[in-house]
Structure 1
Amino acid sequence: MYISLQLPFIILLFTSVVLARRPTAYEVIQDYGFPVGLLPSSVKSYDLNRETGEFMVTLRDKCSFPFDGYDVKFKEVFSGVIKIDKLTKLKGISAGKFWVSMDIVEATRLGDEVDFSAGVFSLGFDVEDFEKSPQCGCGFDCDDLKVKDDKLLDLSM
């Protein structure tokens, strides 16, 4: 009899824990209409004020990677304001080419495109480019890098 009374309590407790699970930063960004690939794969934690949209993301370390000829850099902590299909007041994210680097201050989802703004300059990319999260160091091309590394190892034998 004691065990039969415990079972419903355990099921109720387990159900409430599962239902109370906090969404990941990747799930949250999707809730606002953005693909997960706008966030590096190294997210450690985040804070979000759902009323104002103000957020802060902490990575395991600062992060940089190549993307479409640009060197993209995330500080260990970056922040901004998120609304449906719009990220504004971004701080801690930059992109550069050659010797010029600019702070990314805004990102907007427009249909199948994500536009990034660095003040007066903006550039759009296909949403499909961000289906998976980039890894620090190699970005979206880590599989290609692994194949190249494996081939180099094979040549040394």
Structure 2
Amino acid sequence: MSTAAASPATNNGEAPSVYDILREFNFPIGLLPEGVVGCSLDRTTGKLEAYLNEACQFSPEDPYELRYKATISGQISKNRLTDLKGVTVKFMFFWVNIVEVVRNGDDLLFSVGVATASFPVDNFSECLPPGGCGADCKNGKGGKIKTKSLVSPA
């Protein structure tokens, strides 16, 4: 896969990685797991795609479990990632799609449509799981992720 189509080159002449793109739009790199092998960004529409070698599942902390499909996509703009596809979280006994991530100051708000959870941005300063998806991702364990609140939309 090519990296960051329609994106300007980095200082060393290479296309930016998806982690560079996340930082550019004010998101921490830990929104995506380690091991992204390529990405594309259409700067006109904000359409972002990131590619893993294979689907990935790990538990950063009980009771949370995350799944990433091999292709993750969404619309990115400053402090907002919408129309997210390819990322699910286990909520009680069900897997639900994370559809939107919004940065609000030092917090990230994750929306699954029926509820929103708030987490400190610092929880996502590093990519999980250690070693990256594709290595031992299905059995991967990550660091601590602490929630600030879980709210239903008004």
TM-score by length of 1: 0.75
> 2-side partners of 1:100 and 1:19: how far apart?
44
Q: What fraction of aligned residue pairs are identical, expressed as a percent?
A: 31
Deviation digits for residues 61-86 of structure 1 (CA, Å, limit 9, x no counterpart): 11111134211100011111000000
Q: Do the aligned residues in 2 keep the contact of 1:113 with 1:124 (CA within 8 Å)?
A: yes
Deviation beyond 3 Å, 4+ runs, structure 1: 16-19
Gaps of 5+ in 2: 1-8, 130-136, 145-154
Aligned residues: 127
Higher relative contact order (CA 8 A, sep 6+): 2
**How do residues 39-58 of structure 1 correspond to structure 2 at under 5 angstroms?**
39-58=32-51
Cα offset, 1:19, TM superposition = 4.2
**How do residues 1-150 of structure 1 correspond to structure 2 at under 5 angstroms?**
19-68=12-61, 69-135=63-129, 136=137, 137-141=139-143
Structure with higher helix content: 1
CA RMSD of aligned residues (A): 2.0
TM-score by length of 2: 0.76
Gaps of 5+ in 1: 1-15, 143-157
**Structure 1 20/72 Cα, relative in aligned 2: closer, same or farther at 3 Å?**
same
